[in-house]
Structure 1
């Protein structure tokens, strides 16, 4: 009974919500609608029509501006100057072609005609014709002949529009055209020609026609002199002459009433400041009262019907919405293993569903799919020293459910360059095995460091100091075994010194890189430990060779912070030395030589101010300042070189995709294999360089090529789609319509 009671409570909440949602706005809306229908119906219609008139006025102002701009462009078009056009038949043909382009770019224009003063012919998109041919054969004007048209164009000083009647082709039926003439050059006191635009009156009436809606009346457009340019009427006896007379008496904008021919009219007028044209709507006033009376009765009937069915609809909606919620809640209870009684004491159905959504399987699958990429980025940042906060590391480990065997860790580095071509499949297999590998007494996490051409494995162990070297050797041998298994080669492994805590692993990574690089000139293969590099140091009189190697390797990686830390340790060591001045200067010059060798390897010149500090130093503080400047120069150079290589690689990748995007077998694995990258690194690199995923970028190129061919060729659509690398034509057509909102055929028709 308790479960039924809770279910009923939720159902009643739904029912009450639907009743309130319906009743409150319905009550308000009924009052507003009734008031508007009875009291303000006429005013609203008139105001609405004035607003529409202003929209039409603004639209025509834009069209006139467009025609004005077109006339200006024609006046400065070098192909349409009098000298060029009159220079021969070829230039005349070129002028006709240019006018055709201007006609195509103006959708409302039926024809564009160009006339130069003194000529006896017109140039238009259909060719060069005499005035008589143009007015009597091409357009068959009934109220203007060729001589009169030529005279008007010759004497034109300001833009002028006029209404002309013409016969339809092949019949005696007449239609109205608008002739809009502009002198060129624009705003010149001495124009040398005239540009004329011929516009069908129907183009304008099609724009103003919908203003009336379902009411009867007339719409007129007149020029600044009161001449009608276009008109449209619906079941209205008002003549154009009556409209002209009434507009002459009321020249101001706004709404006013008038009696014309014994009938009352409501007139709404708007006037353009740009052209001086007037836009007028004339509607019989009697139709408003009839419509109001009809609407009053209709509204009362509707209100009664809505009130009668309102509660019934609310009940039906509440029942339909509650039923699936109850079913989902029962399913959620079964998944959680709770009894209904326990669940209902703590949750209602909606709370139970919300808790279940938080643990949905689809969401977990998405998280699991992104986890390897997030984990890889975390370890890359950790190795390069970008993460110093132990709290951030601990939070990440807890979020990823990673259990570490201890606090001690070290880094192993294996070079990836210098080998024969390794396939992407083999590279991915190795990285998958190294992403989290169980080692003797430790666990390792491997990532690819593309810019340094190495694979780095962060190894975490819980063994004590006495067993650390044995753990390092066993871990290195296991890593070598995995390389031999996947790549068939025995690599060189550089091992850094162990550190206590993951925030310090950048130090071990630098040491491992230095150990690997120290063995680069020797034979390939073997395990090199960083601490073995300084075994030749027999006494404590010399500064630490280990810090020297760390400093050099940090500079080669562009890590200023690590390089300065190592330099500070060396300088502090030199300041505490109790040796002769000669011996101290020998150590200083050896340190200077270390910088010079590093800069020589990088082919980097020393700047003059740093050269002076290194040669003329008299104190260790001066020497330290000069070396700090060198560290800045070297690390900045290394970082800029890495960025330059990344940009060049990105350009090469985009160029390769641009050359091969129309191939059927182009895929992520093929490109990653071509550029010797892992799939995960290539995906990240592609996203950073273009902002697109690889698939989206290739799809974008193919889409653009298909659109280009649809515009510029008559090839069958199937041939175009297959030519850009798609074998499934129907699938591409669905994708194209979803992207562009048009089918391929509609796109071609629109842009042809």
Structure 2
């Protein structure tokens, strides 16, 4: 390989070697830059670590100080403390009892907060200071605290002469004869009487207990300063830190400064509390920086040297490894293309020329394929929808060969079923399976590709008299946006076809799936969705997501119990059209309105309803004078209905005609019955036993039914007809024969003359005797 470099410097090996060596310089330059930035980075990291430590300390101490704020409010609300504010000298026994109670309350507060050393309440009116164990005056408190020899009592006393006192201050105090360091928190207790001086709550905090929560680090010192940069506490070496700390340089809320501390350079990180204004300072020796810098410097030098060594070795290995495929490719191209590599140009130029001639041959083959491109692509899309692709072949090559370009891995399928061809409808018997279908498929393919716009890429093909569209959705769409794009494409296509061609179609929209192998699953979902046309009806856009949710929510059988079937049969047999339609509507609403049943159950229900109608017509025809053989063809048409809506509409038409015939037959039958009853009464009115029961028994009917039927069809009660018939005969006898009233009553069927007189007067308005005289 190196000999080739010497022979011909035009070879790609020379270019690669120079490139690899240039690349090796990049990590060296980067290492130098990183090394120059190391000091700043280490400084920031250590400062950040110190700030985190100081923030933890700040939060810990501030939580204790917030507890003091809450404690001061509780003391102000204490009745014993507030009631003594108005007391003035001299003090009496009751006042001393109050002081005892106040001290007792203060002891309670002290026990609840173990970091509190002592609690005092100073009353200006009576110059009384109450603690947890006794009481004294302000001078006694001054003697106890001993703020310093240079501070007089008057100067100390002026600290508390303000109208409202609120301060933290470092303080020395005596505890069992020992001088202790601590922090004094003083705050006025605001009471209800603004005319009296406010009592002042003084709380002493032990320095050691205040620092209990501060982590201990061997390399650094931690200290606390108040608002005036006075020392409050320190973790160690307090005296040295107090003498050498450059507190005037600690400006701002937080920061990092370098200073000479006891002849050594140190880094000071500090943060300031928002609650108290205290500064929390971390002092770290600068030696730590130098130690880490030397360590990083050694690592950087070692890394550069190791990188150069490994880089040179890897360069040689990969230079040889990368050139081997080109060498093999040159040999193959030389053998197959007829070109020979002479070494006058580099390898890439030779390969470019060889590939150029190969592409020319490929273009000639592509021109031949384009002549049959549509048919081949339709076949390819059909196999893609059915999931019958050869997995051994490269999908990328297959897509490119068939001019199919998918930009994302999100796919769905739209399935179009033609319900009516509209303007494309012809009179030829086989046109809908040939020319019409092809024409509408062509229109659909162009319309949906146009309506897809920039939201998706669409490829269409014919699938068993259906038009199937593979929709490849654009990237960066959410699931909701993908659903909206599919619905928009389906509804706009349906509206366009209906407006311009007047064709009706049902569109099934599948779910969205990943990967091209999910296209076949989308196609199966679309086929399953299209079956729901039986439930939804023609001319609908049906979504797979909706039917999936409906199937998940239903989980039930269809509603058509035996009692409802018997009730429907009864309504039809009695000719009650309104109730038959209402019951049929109830069956439809229950099974298909809110939570439609599944398609298999819907088919079962259709067959069940058709069976009920056939059975009912058979029973009606056996007892009616009508011939219902023609309705057997109606039932056959019911079974051939494509949708539930079509079946319900056809069944309502059959019900209307059957019930009309039954009502006509019933009406004729009742007319014959009324005439027979009239003849029977005319023949038997002289019989004293003639009544409604006798008539019912003669016609094998119940008395109530006979009376009801007669009243409904004549408007006259059956008893009135009997009386009218008898009275008509009585009037003839009264006018033509010289008979007594009793004889007339007996001859016309009245066994009791008083009943005859009463009924005669009721209907004729006079007695039989007066009628006979007239």
TM-score computed with the length of structure 2 as normaliser: 0.30
Larger radius of gyration, structure 1 or 2? Answer: 2
